[in-house]
Structure 1
Amino acid sequence: MSLEQQTQSIAVALIGNPNTGKSTLFNALSGVRQRTGNYPGVTVEKKHGTFRIGDKSIELIDLPGSYSLAPRSPDEMVAVDVLLGRLPAERKPQAVLVILDAGNLERNLYILSQVLELRLPTIVALNMIDVAQDKGVTVDAPLLAQRLGVPVLETRANHGAGVQQLREALAHIAAQSPPEYTSPFPPAFREEVAGLQGKMVASNVSAPRYLVERLLLDTSGYLEKELELGGDNFHQTIEEARARLKESGVPVPAVEAMSRYAWVRETLNGVVQRKPVAPPLSDRIDRVMTHPILGSFFFAILMLTVFTAVFSEYIAGVPMSGIEWLFETIGGLVGDSMAEGPFRSLLVDGVIAGVGGVLVFLPQICILFFFIAILEDCGYMARAAYLMDRLFSNVGLSGKSFIPLLSSFACAIPGVMATRVIENRRDRLTTMMIAPLMSCAARIPVYVVMIAAFVPYYSFAGGLLNSHALTFAGMYLVGIFAAVLVALVLKKTLLRGATPPFVMELPSYKWPSLTTVGLRVFEKGWSFIYRAGTLIFASSVLVWAAAYYPHNDAAVATWTPRLAEVETELAQATEPAQIEELEAEQGDLEHHIAGAYLRDSFLGRAGQWVEPVVRPLGWDWRIGCATIASFPAREVIIGTLGVIYDLGGEEDEASIPLREKLKSATWDGTDRPVYNLPVALSVMVFFALCAQCAATLAVIKRETNSWRWPIFTFVYMTLLAYCGAFIVYRIAAFFTTTPIVSV
C-alpha cells in the first residue's frame, strides 16, 4: 500500500451485545479479507477485516461481544484498551460502529451510552429490523439519530440489506465530529470523578476519564491493580469517595445501572412503538425446544447427528481417508523417484507425512464448525446451553461447555477451538483443560488392539452385552470421570471462582446466512492449518529425526547382505511362484531392517532410558518407545509397535499378526510374556488419560496465546495417566494373580 493510500486508511471498531448480528455484519462488510489472532496474554480472539470504497481503505476491528464496557478481568479489559488506544500493538480506532438489535433497544443502548462517553465518531447500525417488525416493534430511526446525535442506519446483515449504505457512511466517518454527549450520572458522581482525576494527575498517574470513572464503579479491585496506582493511598482515596457518594444517595456501583437506564428510557421515549401481535414464532418453537423433556429429546437427537457427522467414516471419514491416500500416494511417488537416504526419508516420512498428519484433521474441524456456525446463526445454540446448564453447573461450569466437550469425543482439536463460545475466562480455560480427557478417535486403535488380544470374551444378557464392549465403554467412562474430578479441582484451586450465573439471551430464530457459515468454516479451517499446523508439523519432523538417526548400518548388518541377494534374484526371476516367494522374503527383510534401525535410533534408546520409569506400569522399553513416538498423534503407537516387532509400519488395529506378536512378546533375556490383561488395561488407561497429542497441545497454545496452559495440560495429564495406569495395573494383577513386574 502506498503512502498516499495509507493516509486514507480508517480504523473502525465494531462493538455490540451478543446475538445482535455483529459477526454477520462484520463478515458482510469485509468478506474474506479477514485475519485472526489472539491479543497478547489473553484468550480473547482479535479479528480484523478490511474493505475499500473509493480511495479509502476501512480497517474493521471486531471487538468481543459484550453487554457492558465494565472490565473485571484481562479478557474483558481488551475491548476498553482497544477503544482507548492502550494496546501498543493495536491501532487506536478513529471511529466506532455500534450494532444494536432493533427489537431490544432498551438493553442494547446501555453499552452505547458507555461508547458515547469515549468521544469517538460513532455510527449506529440498527440491525435485524425485520425481526423487530415481526415482534410488533417499530423504531423511528431518524428520531433516534437526532436524540443520539450520531447517524443511525437500518440493516439486515444476514440478507445484506443496508450494508452498502453502511460502507459509504463509514468512508466519511473520519470527518464526523465526536457526538455531543452529556454524562447520565448525577452531579455528585461527576464531581468525585473530576476530583479523583485531579489527584491522579498531581501524582503523575495518567488515565483517561473513562477509566477514572470505572475506578469508582469497579468494586472488585481489578482496575486498581491493572492501572498500578501505587499502594494503599489511592485505594483509601477511592474508598472515601465511594463513602461520600453513598451518604449523598448515590450508591456505587448501583448508580451506573440507575443512571444509564434512566438515560435509555428518556432517549427511547417516542422512538419505539409497540403493537400487540400474536406470540412470535420463536416463542412458539421454544415451547418445545426449551421443554425439559421434549427439548432434551430434540437436543439429544441433534447432538447425535453432529457427533455422527464428525465421527462418521462416511462423512468425515471419506475426506480424511482421501487425504491419507493422497499423501501416501505423494510419499510413494517421491520415495520411488529418489535414492535411499536421509533426505528421502525426511521428505517422505517427515515433511510429507507431517503435512498429511496436519491436514487429516481438517475435515472434522470444518464439519464441526459448519454445524456450530449454523446452530449459532439460527439461534439454537443459546437453547442448547440453557438445557445443559443444570448438569454442568454441578462441576462449576455452564451449559456452554457441552458442545466443546461433546466435540472432543471425535477430536480434541475442534473441541478446544469450540471453547470460544464460552465468554467466562475461567470456564473457557477449565473446558480447554478437560477437553483432551474425552476419548477421541485416535485412542480407538489402542483400545481395539489391546481388547481383542488380551481381554477374555464373555457374553451377558443373552448376548446383548459382552466383556469387550463393556471394556471399550469403560475407557470412555474413565475419561469422563477424570474430567469431572479435574474440573472440580481446577474450579476450586487454579481457576477458582464462583460458578457464574447463567445469563443468556434467547435470540429470535432466523435462517442462517450461508455466507456467514461459509466464512466461519473457512476461517476456522485456515486458522488451524496456519497456526496450529506449524507446531504439529514441527513435532512430526522432530519425532521422525529421533526415529531415523543415528541410522547405524552396523545395526542391520545381519539382514542387508541377504536383502541385496534377494533383490538381485528378484530382478532375474521369471516364475510367478518364485517372484511371490522372493517378494515375501524381501518384505520380511525390510521389516527386520526397519525394526533394527528403530531399536537403535535415538527414539529406541529413549525407550530403553525410560524403561525404569514405565516398569511399574508393567511396560517394557518397547511400549515406552512406542508411547514416545505417539506424541504427534496417539494412533501412531500401533504403527510403531509394528515396526518394533518387525512387521512394518503399515499395521493397524485390525492386524492379526500384530496381535500374535504382542501375545508372544517376552521380556528381554527371559521367556516371561510382556503383555497380559493387567498390562493391556494399564496401556489403555494411560492412553485414555494422557496428553499424547501434540496437535491438541498446539491448539491450546494457539487459543490461549501462552505456553503456560499447554505445558500445564501435558504435565497434569501425564501424571494423571501414570497414576491411573499404575493403580489399574496393580489392582488387575492382584485379582488375576498375575506376577507383578519387579521394579
Structure 2
Amino acid sequence: MPPATPRSRWTIALIGNPNTGKSTLFGALSGVPQRVGNYPGVTVEKTLGTILHEGMNWTLVDLPGTYSLAPRSPDEMVAVDVLLGRLDDLPAPDVVLCVVAANSLERNLYLLSQVLELGRPVVVALTMGDIAESQGVRMDIPALAERLGVPVVQLQAHRGIGLDELKEALAKAGEEPGPAVEGLFPTPFRQETEQLDRLLAGHRTLAGEHGLPRYLVERLLLDTGGYLERRLYGDGDGEAHAVHAALADARGRLAAAGCTVPAVETGARYAWIARIVDGILSHPDAPVATWGDRLDAILTHRLWGLLVLAAVLLLMFSAVFSWATVPMDAIDAGIGWISGQVQERLPDGPLVSLLTDGIIGGIGAVVVFLPQIFILFFLLTSLEECGYLSRAAYLMDRLMVKVGLSGKSFIPLLSSFACAIPGVMATRVIEDRRDRLTTILIAPLMSCSARLPVYTLMIAAFIPDRRFLGGLLGLQGLVLFAMYALGVLVAAIAALLLKRTLLKGEAPSFLMEMPVYKWPSPRVVFQRMFERGWDFLRNAGTIIFAVSIVMWGMLYYPRLSPERMAPLAAEQSRLESERERARAAGDAEEEKSAAESLATLANHIEGEQKRQSVLGRLGHLIEPAVKPLGWDWRIGSGVIASFPAREVVVATMGVIFDVGEDVEEDAGTRRLGEALRSATWPSGKPLFDVPVALSVMVFFALCAQCVSTLAVIGRETGTWTWPAFTFVYMTAAAYVASLIAYQGGTWLGL
C-alpha cells in the first residue's frame, strides 16, 4: 500500500555502506542541514535535511553508515529503529534511499537485501559508476533495476549529475507499495520464524503494544550475540524466560537441520546476490592497475607511508595550533575593543563589569574557538572525502591497538594537543561506540595550547636554565616535554582501564575497505565545516556563556566594605593629585612615578576585591585540601577560577598576587614571576619552590579545568553523565599526581 502520509510531508531515510558517497549525496539533496542532534540514549548523530521538489518539502534522515542491519549495540540499532518506525520523535520513512557503490556492487547488495525485506518503498542511488568503469567493471543498469524490482538511478552527486532523476524516482516510488521480496532463507529457517512469530504474538507486553515486525523476529533468531534478545526481552522472569528458551530451542533445531545461525544468513544473502548479478555484471579477467593502486603503494608503506603521515599530521597540527592564531587574536582584539567602548561610555560599577567581563567576555570565550574548529574540520573533511583518512587510520592501528583502540582514534587525539574541543568533535569519524567514547574521555588529557601559559610561567620562574649535551638539551625544555608526555602516558593508562572496565571490550578488528581516491566536494567540505561551527555555538556555546556569567559573579561579589575602601580611595586621590601637579609643573619623571604608583595601587585594590569575593573565600575554604600539594588559598583560588578555561589561571593569579590582569606580555610575565617568588606563607616560608611549581604544572597537565571541553563532551555523548565522569576521574588523577610531585620533590630536596 502507498504511504498514508501526505505526499508533501514525506520522510525519506538515507542509508548505505561507509565510503559510498552517502554524505556527499545528503549534502547535494538537502543543502545545509536543518537540525543536528543525537538520537535519544545513544551517541549517534541525527542529521535531518530537507529535499525541495516541485513545491514539496521532504524530510531527509541521514542514517549512520553501516554494512549490515544486524544490530549489536544501541548505536547500531538506530538505523533499524528508524527504518521500522520505532522511534517516537521520528515517523517511519515513506521511502528508503539506499546508496550502492558500483565499484563494490556485490558487497553493497548485502545491505540492500536487508533493506528490501522491510517492505518499504526503496530507491537505489548508484554511485561510483565512473570509478567502476575505470576498473573495467561493466553492468546493465536497467536489467539490475528489473531484477531488484526497484528504481536504480546512476548519479554523480558532487557534480549534480542525476539528482533531478533521483527526485523523480523518489516521488514515484513513494506512491507505490514496497517491493515484494522472494524468500531468501531456506525452508527450515522460514518455518522456525513463523513458529516464533506466533509465540511472540502472545508476549506483546514484552515487545511493545504492536508486537514485533517480521524482520526483527528473523533477527532474534540470527542474533547469537544476544544484544537484540536482551534489548527486547531483558533478563527477567516468567514470559521473558519462555522467550529465551524458545529461541535457544529454535536455534538448536536449525543447527540439526544444517541451517546453523548466523552462517545461514551469509549463505542465503550471497546466494541471492549471485542470482541478481548473474549475466548483468562483469569484471575484467585481471585487475586493472590504477593510479590509486600506485599511490597506495607509497601511502600505506610501513616507512614511506609513515613519513607522509607525519608530514600531513604536522600540517594539521600547525594549522589548528598556529594558523588559527591570527583569527583568534583578531577575535580577542575585537572583543577587547568592544569592551573598551563600553567602559568609555559607562561609569565604573557592577553593570559595566557585567557587560565587559561577564557578557562580552563570555561571548568571546565561545567565539574564540571557532577558527580552530573551522580549520580542523576543513582539513578532516577534505582528508576523509579524498580517501586519505582511512589510510592514516590503517597506518596507526598497530600502535593504537596496544591501548585497546583502533587507528581511527589517532587523529582526534593528535588534534587535542591544539585544543580538546575540536579533538572531541573529530571523534565522529570513529564508528565503534566504545572506541569513540574512550577516545572522547581521554582526549582532554592531551596537553592543549591553553595549558602552555601555565607551563611557561612556572618553568621560567622556578626551573633553572641548565644545559646538557653541549647545550643541545635544556632542563626547562625537558620539563616542558615531560608535561606533554605525562598527559600521553596517563591517557594510555586510562584507555586501557576504560576498555577493561566501564567500556569493556577487545580492541576492534581493524577491517576497513580502503575508499577510492577522489577530489573532495567543496560543497560537502564547507557545509560540514560551517555545520560543526554552528553546532558548537548553538550547543556548547550556550553552556560556556552561562558558566562565564556565573564565574564573573563569583569573582565580583561581594565588594569591599566602605570602611576598607576609604583609605584605599584616599590614597588613590592623593596619587592622582600628585600626578596632576607633576604634569602641570612639567616634571615628567615625577609624573611617571605617580602613574606607576597609581597602577600598583589599582592592582592592589583589584586583588583585595578578588580576595574578598566568593571565589577568594572558596580558596580559603579549600586550603586544607590543597595544602598537601604545597598550595595556599591563593593558588586554590586560581585553580577554581580556571574552570571556565585553563589559561585564565595566569590572569587570575596576576590579580590575586597584586600584579594585575595584563600578564600576557613578557614584562607582565616577569612581574608575576617575581611576585610568585616573593610570595610567602604567614610563617614567612616561601610559598613557591620547585616542588610547588611541579605540583601546579602536573595538576594542570591532568585536570579537567575547561568547561568548554566538558560541554562538548556532553553534546557529543548526549548525556551529562560522561562529562561528570571525566571531571571526577581527571581531577582525582590530577590531585594524586600533584601530591606525588610535591611530596616526592620535597623529599628529594628539589
Tell me, yes or no, whether TM beats 0.5.
Answer: yes
Equivalent residue for 1:221? 226
Equivalent residue for 1:349? 357
Secondary structure of 2:534 counterpart = helix
User: What CA deviation, in whole Å up to 9, does each residue of 1:42-65 have, x standing for no partner?
Assistant: 110000010211121111000000
**Partner Cα separation in structure 2 for residue 432 and residue 200 of structure 1:** 40
Question: Amino acid of the residue matched to residue 379 of structure 1?
Answer: G
**Partner Cα separation in structure 2 for residue 60 and residue 197 of structure 1:** 32
CA change 1:90–1:556 in 2 (3 A) is farther
User: What CA deviation, in whole Å up to 9, does each residue of 1:323-367 have, x standing for no partner?
Assistant: 111101111111221122222111110111011011111111111
Give, in angstroms, the shift of residue 145 of structure 1.
Answer: 0.5
Equivalent residue for 1:463? 471
CA change 1:388–1:653 in 2 (3 A) is farther
Question: Amino acid of the residue matched to residue 8 of structure 2?
Answer: Q
The structure 2 residue matched to 1:583, chosen from 592, 595, 612, is: 595
CA change 1:571–1:134 in 2 (3 A) is farther
Question: Amino acid of the residue matched to residue 645 of structure 1?
Answer: F
Q: How does 1:105-504 map to 2 (within 5 A)?
A: 105-204=105-204, 205=207, 206-228=211-233, 230-275=239-284, 276=286, 278-312=288-322, 315-504=323-512
Give, in angstroms, the shift of residue 33 of structure 1.
Answer: 4.1
Contact 1:490 1:496 in 2 (8 A): yes
**Partner Cα separation in structure 1 for residue 415 and residue 395 of structure 2:** 17
Question: Amino acid of the residue matched to residue 240 of structure 2?
Answer: G
Contact 1:117 1:183 in 2 (8 A): no
Q: How does 1:482-561 map to 2 (within 5 A)?
A: 482-554=490-562, 555-561=564-570
Give, in angstroms, the shift of residue 567 of structure 1.
Answer: 4.5
Q: How does 1:588-667 map to 2 (within 5 A)?
A: 588-652=600-664, 654=666, 655-667=669-681
The structure 1 residue matched to 2:721, chosen from 695, 708, 733, is: 708
Give, in angstroms, the shift of residue 274 of structure 1.
Answer: 2.2
The structure 2 residue matched to 1:672, chosen from 679, 685, 693, is: 685
Equivalent residue for 1:40? 40
Question: Amino acid of the residue matched to residue 440 of structure 2?
Answer: M
Secondary structure of 1:609 counterpart = helix
User: What CA deviation, in whole Å up to 9, does each residue of 1:191-241 have, x standing for no partner?
Assistant: 111111111112334111111111001011111121126431110000000
Question: Amino acid of the residue matched to residue 134 of structure 2?
Answer: D
User: What CA deviation, in whole Å up to 9, does each residue of 1:255-299 have, x standing for no partner?
Assistant: 111101111111011221223564011111101111111111111
**What is the TM-score of this pair, normalised by structure 1?**
0.96
**Partner Cα separation in structure 2 for residue 183 and residue 648 of structure 1:** 78
Question: Amino acid of the residue matched to residue 197 of structure 2?
Answer: Q
Equivalences, count: 730
Select between 221-230 and 599-608 the one with higher mean Cα deviation: 221-230
**Partner Cα separation in structure 1 for residue 301 and residue 33 of structure 2:** 41
Q: Where has structure 1 moved over 6 Å in runs of 4 or more?
A: none
CA change 1:277–1:429 in 2 (3 A) is closer
Contact 1:95 1:121 in 2 (8 A): yes
Secondary structure of 1:103 counterpart = helix
Secondary structure of 2:99 counterpart = strand
Equivalent residue for 1:741? none
Contact 1:559 1:592 in 2 (8 A): no
Question: Amino acid of the residue matched to residue 334 of structure 1?
Answer: V
User: What CA deviation, in whole Å up to 9, does each residue of 1:431-479 have, x standing for no partner?
Assistant: 1111000000000000000000001111011111000000000000100
**Partner Cα separation in structure 2 for residue 356 and residue 571 of structure 1:** 36
Give, in angstroms, the shift of residue 653 of structure 1.
Answer: 7.0
Contact 2:33 2:47 in 1 (8 A): no
**Partner Cα separation in structure 2 for residue 133 and residue 305 of structure 1:** 34
Task: Quote the sequence identity (%).
Answer: 53
Secondary structure of 2:37 counterpart = strand
Select between 278-287 and 99-108 the one with higher mean Cα deviation: 278-287
Give, in angstroms, the shift of residue 558 of structure 1.
Answer: 3.4
**Partner Cα separation in structure 1 for residue 412 and residue 662 of structure 2:** 32
Equivalent residue for 2:747? 734
Equivalent residue for 1:27? 27
Secondary structure of 2:125 counterpart = strand
Secondary structure of 2:89 counterpart = coil
RMSD (Å), alpha carbons? 1.5
**Partner Cα separation in structure 1 for residue 133 and residue 599 of structure 2:** 73
Select between 570-579 and 494-503 the one with higher mean Cα deviation: 570-579
**Partner Cα separation in structure 1 for residue 80 and residue 578 of structure 2:** 76
Give, in angstroms, the shift of residue 576 of structure 1.
Answer: 6.8
Equivalent residue for 1:695? 708
Secondary structure of 1:172 counterpart = helix
**Partner Cα separation in structure 1 for residue 475 and residue 671 of structure 2:** 23
**Partner Cα separation in structure 1 for residue 565 and residue 167 of structure 2:** 69
Indicate yes or no: 2:730 matched with 1:717.
yes
Contact 1:445 1:653 in 2 (8 A): no
Structure 2: stretches of 5+ with no match in the other structure: none
**Partner Cα separation in structure 2 for residue 101 and residue 305 of structure 1:** 32
**Partner Cα separation in structure 1 for residue 233 and residue 351 of structure 2:** 55
Question: Amino acid of the residue matched to residue 115 of structure 2?
Answer: V
Equivalent residue for 1:740? none
User: What CA deviation, in whole Å up to 9, does each residue of 1:47-85 have, x standing for no partner?
Assistant: 001021112111100000000001111111111111111
Give, in angstroms, the shift of residue 568 of structure 1.
Answer: 5.8
CA change 1:265–1:662 in 2 (3 A) is same
Equivalent residue for 1:97? 97
**Partner Cα separation in structure 1 for residue 385 and residue 514 of structure 2:** 12
Question: Amino acid of the residue matched to residue 351 of structure 1?
Answer: I
Give, in angstroms, the shift of residue 188 of structure 1.
Answer: 1.1
**Partner Cα separation in structure 2 for residue 597 and residue 433 of structure 1:** 37
**Partner Cα separation in structure 2 for residue 127 and residue 430 of structure 1:** 34
Question: Amino acid of the residue matched to residue 341 of structure 2?
Answer: L
Structure 1: stretches of 5+ with no match in the other structure: 738-743
**Partner Cα separation in structure 2 for residue 360 and residue 552 of structure 1:** 33
